[in-house]
């Protein structure tokens, strides 16, 4: 409860019926725009995968996946996905998708270790997308080009929903600002990572922080990343390290930074071996996904996840993600939200 943000004099701009309609309009419109921008085809995705294949993501490396035994497989364990970063790359290889094209899907997950607050729920829903690229496109310019296309789809969606409901005023800036995580540290040396995100998002409105996962000059990473999907350790033409990052915007309703997407150019053989070594995870080389990558069977890709409830929450000016999705919340949080005009579904 100490993490619950209560905006002053908050009242929802849309009632619950309008909110449900707005959610559908945003989701339908944005995914069509994302598909068009990046030439993505929709595919069906799993809710769970077999344990021990290296397909599930371990995110920051500390989250416990929800698992269960499968009776007809001799009680082999399945895990509810954390995200689909590695599954998507396998799918692109198996479908034979060519460079310049990709896939997207609805990713639904359960993250039992989340600390529940305005932004974080046990239930995670996002658009997971992945696009095949040419190896020579492994550079910062290509990453920025893709980020700008995704941001353009967000801007169009914000305009659309503000036309449908005139009480919703657009607030996103026309352009997204790019900054490398080390440069961000040097700009705000006295702040921790989350405080730096708040400062840069407040200043520019929307920002893409480049290079998340590698240690900075202060000996700490801006945030943690698994070693086997995003490339967070490769030097690039500007001298920075890392070809991944987060799209973060300023949320006026909550008065804080607000992450909408984590994405990046994916590891190749050399980068994955390097990052596994950095993290002491060399034993993963024998897992199914990792052997296929090391054997040259997987295409070079770029991909990421875009929060569905997060985007709806931002564009509908909601104070709590529980106004967008049905989930489980502590009784104390539900009671407090009820008292301050935050109607949780």
Question: Which residues have a catalytic role annotated?
Answer: 57, 111, 126, 246, 259, 262
Say whether 75 sits in a helix, a strand or coil.
Answer: coil
* Distance (Å, whole) CA 283 – CA 285: 5
User: Distance (Å, rounded) from C-alpha 335 to C-alpha 1?
Assistant: 11
The CA distances from residue 1 to 71, 191, 282, 326, 336, in Å, are: 39, 24, 39, 19, 9
Residues 6+ apart with CB under 8 A from 27: 308, 312
Rounded CA-CA distance 294/282 in Å is 12
H-type helices in the chain, by residue range? 16-38, 85-95, 140-164, 181-187, 193-204, 269-278, 288-294, 308-315, 331-339
The residue assigned the tokens 């897992």 is: 287
What tokens does 225 get? 């990343």
Contact between residue 55 and residue 289 where contact means Cβ atoms under 8 Å apart: yes
Residue 292: which residues within 8 A CB-CB, separation 6 or more? 90, 93, 298
What does the alpha-carbon distance between residue 342 and residue 340 come to, in Å, rounded to a whole number?
Answer: 6
């Amino acid at each position: 409860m100490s993490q619950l943000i209560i905006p002053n004099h908050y009242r929802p701009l849309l009632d619950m019926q309008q909110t449900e309609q707005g959610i559908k309009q945003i989701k339908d419109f944005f995914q069509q725009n994302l598909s068009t921008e990046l030439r993505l085809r929709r595919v069906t995705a799993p809710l769970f995968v077999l344990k021990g294949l290296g397909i599930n993501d371990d995110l920051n490396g500390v989250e416990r996946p929800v698992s269960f035994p499968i009776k007809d497989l001799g009680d082999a364990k399945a895990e509810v996905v954390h995200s689909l970063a590695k599954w998507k790359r396998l799918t692109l290889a198996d479908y034979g998708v060519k460079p310049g094209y990709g896939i997207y899907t609805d990713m639904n997950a359960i993250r039992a270790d989340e600390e529940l607050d305005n932004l974080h729920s046990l239930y995670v829903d996002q658009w997971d997308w992945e696009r095949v690229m040419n190896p020579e496109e492994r550079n910062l310019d290509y990453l920025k080009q893709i980020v700008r296309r995704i941001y353009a789809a967000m801007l169009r969606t914000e305009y659309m929903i503000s036309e449908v409901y005139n009480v919703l005023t657009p607030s996103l800036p026309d352009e997204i600002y790019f900054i490398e995580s080390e440069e961000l540290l040097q700009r705000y040396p006295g702040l921790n990572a989350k405080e730096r995100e708040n400062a840069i998002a407040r200043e520019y409105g929307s920002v893409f922080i480049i290079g998340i996962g590698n240690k900075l000059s202060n000996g700490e990473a801006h945030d943690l990343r698994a070693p086997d999907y995003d490339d967070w350790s490769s030097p690039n033409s500007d001298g920075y390290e890392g070809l991944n990052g987060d799209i973060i915007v300023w949320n006026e309703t909550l008065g804080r930074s607000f992450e909408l997407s984590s994405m990046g150019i994916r590891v190749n053989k050399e980068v994955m071996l390097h990052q596994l070594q950095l993290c002491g995870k060399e034993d993963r080389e024998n897992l199914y996904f990792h052997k296929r990558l090391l054997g040259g069977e997987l295409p070079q890709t770029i991909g990421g996840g875009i929060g569905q409830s997060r985007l709806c929450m931002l564009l509908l000016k909601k104070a709590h993600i529980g106004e967008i999705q049905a989930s489980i919340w502590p009784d104390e949080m539900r009671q407090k939200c009820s008292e301050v005009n935050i109607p949780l579904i």
